[in-house]
């Protein structure tokens, strides 16, 4: 079974430029998560989808970040414009549902460097 | 107080010894607890989940949960150099709408 797929794996951009990340969850997983992980810290949830509905986006900085999961499968996370402080690893994860006891499976992440 | 707290380490243990990692959490009604391992430059992978008070063993790993004291621990027996990684404690916080909240991780170094 294929795992969570993310692309690109690495991205270097200049500040104020836009950037987008893509995630394909494990087949059959209804719940999709985007996390931000800074160096030396644990992942922090940005947004959680149940199918195509964003059910928790309270930690998403909506002035510059946006996300979508139009058909309830793939998802994109966008930053526009990027700031220096956005340099981090962006992790996508998926699970069968969002009830709390299920395992979240993480993708390899996208390492973003903003210059 | 952070919602999930871990000692950042590094925790240095000799090969073959027991590594003991601790995690405390703030939400008294939390029900689901997870330990993830993260190698440098890689993504987190689940090694243990625990939902009831007591011990849960899986190979060389034992998770211990004490809900009354609001802590969860992980023991790694017969530590191997390949166990050198950062171990992330994650708690499903009911008070936050079933949000999985991670601690900062404990870095473990197993020395041959």
pLDDT score for A1: 65
**Average pLDDT of every residue of chain B:** 93
First to last CA, chain B: 36
Whether residue B1 has pLDDT greater than 90: no
Which of A25, A35, A42 is the mutation pick for testing B, counting most B CBs within 10 A? Answer: A42
Burial of A13 (0-12, 13-18, 19+ CB in 10 A): middle
Place of tokens 């030396």: A40
The string of pLDDT tens digits covering residues A9-21 is: 999 999 999 999 9
Q: Do B102 and A101 touch (CB under 8 A)?
A: no
First to last CA, chain A: 37
Report how far residue A41's alpha carbon sits from residue A21's, in angstroms, rounded to the nearest whole number: 21
Place of tokens 């708690």: B91
Q: Do A42 and B4 touch (CB under 8 A)?
A: yes
Report how far residue A37's alpha carbon sits from residue B43's, in angstroms, rounded to the nearest whole number: 10
Whether residue A25 has pLDDT greater than 90: yes
Closest partner residue to A45 (CB to CB) among B42, B88, B99 is B99
- Looking at beta carbons, which residues of chain B come within 8 Å of A100? 31-32, 92, 94, 98, 100
Minimal Cα distance from A58: which residue of B? B96
Report how far residue B107's alpha carbon sits from residue B112's, in angstroms, rounded to the nearest whole number: 16
Minimal Cα distance from A107: which residue of B? B43
The string of pLDDT tens digits covering residues A27-78 is: 999 999 999 999 999 999 999 999 999 998 989 999 999 999 988 899 999 9
Confidence grade of residue A111 (pLDDT, cut at 50, 70, 90): very high
- What average pLDDT does this structure show over A92-110? 88
Place of tokens 């793939």: A74
CA distance to A10, A84, B39, B44, B71, per residue, from B83 (Å): 26, 34, 9, 14, 22
Residue B88 near residue B38, CB atoms below 8 Å: yes
Q: Do B43 and A100 touch (CB under 8 A)?
A: no
Residue B11 near residue B110, CB atoms below 8 Å: no
């Amino acid at each position: 079974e294929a795992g969570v797929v993310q692309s690109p794996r690495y991205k270097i951009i200049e500040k104020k430029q836009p950037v987008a990340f893509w995630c394909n969850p494990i087949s059959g997983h209804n719940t999709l998560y985007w996390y931000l992980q800074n160096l030396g810290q644990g992942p922090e949830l940005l947004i959680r989808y149940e199918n195509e509905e964003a059910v928790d986006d309270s930690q998403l900085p909506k002035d510059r970040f946006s996300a979508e999961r139009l058909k309830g499968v793939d998802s994109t996370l966008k930053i526009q414009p990027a700031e220096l402080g956005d340099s981090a690893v962006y992790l996508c994860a998926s699970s069968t549902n969002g009830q709390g006891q299920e395992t979240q499976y993480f993708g390899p992440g996208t390492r973003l460097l903003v210059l | 107080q952070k919602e999930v707290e871990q000692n950042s380490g590094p925790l240095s243990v000799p090969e073959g010894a027991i590594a003991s990692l601790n995690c405390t959490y703030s939400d008294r009604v939390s029900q689901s607890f997870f330990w993830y391992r993260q190698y440098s430059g890689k993504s987190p992978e689940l090694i243990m989940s625990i939902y009831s008070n007591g011990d849960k063993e899986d190979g060389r790993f034992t998770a211990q949960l004490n809900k009354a004291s609001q802590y969860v621990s992980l023991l790694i027996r017969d530590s191997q150099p390949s166990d050198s990684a950062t171990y992330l404690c994650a708690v499903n916080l009911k008070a936050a709408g079933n949000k999985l909240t991670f601690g900062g991780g404990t870095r473990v170094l197993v020395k041959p």
